[in-house]
Amino acid sequence: MSQSSTRTPWRERIDPIVFGVTAVIAVAFVLWGLISTSGLGSASSSAQKWVITNTGWLFVLASTFFVIFVIWLAASKYGRIPLGDDEEVPEFRTVSWVAMMFSAGMGIGLMFWGVAEPLSHYASPPPGMSEAESDAAMQTAMATTMFHWGLHPWAIYAVVGIAIAYGTFRKGRSQLISSAFAPLIGKRRAAGPIGRVIDVLAIFATLFGSAASLGLGALQIGSGLQYNGWVDNVGKVVLVVIIVVLTIAFIASAVSGVAKGIQWLSNTNMVLALVLALFVFVAGPTLLILNLLPTALGDYVSQMTEMASRTAASGDAAMEEWLAGWTIFYWAWWVSWTPFVGMFIARISRGRTIRQFVTGVLLVPTLVSLVWFAIFGGTAIDVQRRTGDLIDKAGAVDTDSALFAVLDHLPIAGVSTVLVMVLVGIFFVSGADAAAVVMGTLSEKGSIEPSRRTVVFWGAVMGGVAAIMLVVGGDDALNGLQQITIVAAVPFVLVMIALCIALYKDLQTDPMVVRGRLGRKMVETAVVTGVEEHDGEFVLVVERAEEEEPQ
């Protein structure tokens, strides 16, 4: 923490309305889950069904709109606009920039779903797509997985990232989500009740999205403990204990400061993840993995339109259930992570142009995901083809233990499974401690270094929410995470659509755009005058304007 942050009293730093409203509702949610778990479970299940039925189309359309919007920004005249002063150079080297992006937005999910998702789609393809466990199912599995982890999620992150970076580094605004709405609703309203509502929704999105990640981490670590024989059965008590330990870890990391906490953890988990991926690549079906790289990329591109247009109208109740468990859950999860990841990639992108930002944010993570899923998904499908012991008789995959089951078929499984548990823990802590800091920033009027007590509070609440979300799911803990994440993300989808409009209005008044517009108009006027008055025989001259004599 900086000296200025320790000198300023906490009451002066905190926004009492934003912090008070979000804190009360978040604590009330935890208490509801403790007092009436079944009641919260029933309410969240009903709410999820309503959201899927009535707003599933909104998630589908909005996610694709965000992809089109950011690509258009990059390709248009706005792509030349720097996220900083006109002559400013990027703050971080490209390699460091890419490494920090990878660590921020993908780690915990890639660890959990790296094997589980491709294998699940191979065992049970989307309704009406292909026959289970066939060659066509493998292509469908890889394409569908890439659809959920490629351009769409990072376009969602890019919307918030561009808006925050442009407003902060180009226009000198605070790092609040609400500040980006000044061009749309005016500075007074952005700093007033409407802006506070926006920041409240941003905190809730971050809270539930990060809690869902903590829940996934707890499920996978618990499965690893059972796989290694360290616990007999992973019940709710074990999961809650894991959450408590992880919560304490990321609170300690968050209050230790960026240099000691997030940066050290990011560097560590990048190296460990690379070691694990290289090990599986070499020990697994190397030739199949190499063949999957172009095949998966081609299938992803060729099936993009069909995958992006799936809604409940695409099939019967089976399609609606599939969408709730996969595509719409993912879009909701990514939306809920946008305040955190968007603000993070905004902070590290100062000095880059919008075109450079979009190109890096969309393409690099998409290619990393392609390689990751080809390695782990390809290995899982190969193991299933050879042994048949990763998918049960009902065609289901145990998502919690899928990665451990695959590693069991490779050398030194005892070492690699422990490495996975360490990686899952570190990946979560490196993301969640930054999420707690972001919620602190939103609670303290945009402070870059929020006070320690605020960060600790949000860290503790995040752990409590994660525990409740797991318990609400009953025997199917993952379902509880998905239900509440989808419901919590709905309001912020609307915020992001409005944010696109605000960003477009903001960019129209950028000095670079205004200069270009005026320059084109003046040249066009001069050319028309030259043609009309001099029959096309003229030259354009730029000279100092004569000063008018004072009267």
> For the chain, what's the residue count?
551
If you search the block for the tokens 């799911």, which residue do you land on?
473
Residue that wins the pLDDT comparison between 434 and 442 = 442
Query: What are the structure tokens assigned to 283, written together?
Result: 């020990």
Domains of the chain, earliest start first: 3-509 (1.20.1740)
Residue that wins the pLDDT comparison between 372 and 392 = 372
**Res 424 pLDDT > 90:** no
What's the whole-model pTM score? 0.88
Give the separation between CA 526 and CA 370, rounded to whole angstroms.
52
**Res 154 pLDDT > 70:** yes
Query: What are the structure tokens assigned to 190, written together?
Result: 């952005």
Kindly state the average pLDDT of the residues 26-33.
90
pLDDT band for position 123 (50/70/90)? Answer: very high
pLDDT the model gives residue 1: 45
Q: What is the pLDDT of residues 288-340, one digit of tens each?
A: 999 999 999 999 999 999 999 887 776 678 888 888 889 988 898 889 888 88
Kindly state the average pLDDT of the residues 112-126.
94
**Res 4 pLDDT > 60:** no
pLDDT band for position 272 (50/70/90)? Answer: confident
Determine whether 199 is exposed, middle or buried from the number of CB atoms within 10 Å of its CB (0-12, 13-18, 19+): buried
**Res 231 pLDDT > 50:** yes
Closest CA to 421 of 211, 115, 217, 118: 217
Give the separation between CA 325 and CA 120, rounded to whole angstroms.
11
If you search the block for the tokens 């929020």, which residue do you land on?
450
pLDDT band for position 483 (50/70/90)? Answer: confident
Is the Cβ–Cβ distance between 208 and 47 less than 8 Å? no
Is the Cβ–Cβ distance between 65 and 498 less than 8 Å? no
What's the distance, Cα to Cα, between the start and end of the chain in Å?
Answer: 60
Give the separation between CA 209 and CA 381, rounded to whole angstroms.
29
Paired residues of 82 in beta bridges: 353
Closest CA to 438 of 450, 430, 421, 423: 450
Kindly state the average pLDDT of the residues 438-459.
87
Contacts of 202 (CB under 8 A, 6+ apart): 177, 339, 442, 492, 495
**Res 6 pLDDT > 90:** no
**Res 545 pLDDT > 70:** no
Give the separation between CA 213 and CA 325, rounded to whole angstroms.
15
Q: What is the pLDDT of residues 341-382, one digit of tens each?
A: 888 888 889 999 999 999 999 998 899 899 999 999 999 999
Alpha helices (runs of H) in 303-451, residue ranges in sequence order: 304-308, 317-325, 327-347, 354-387, 402-407, 413-443
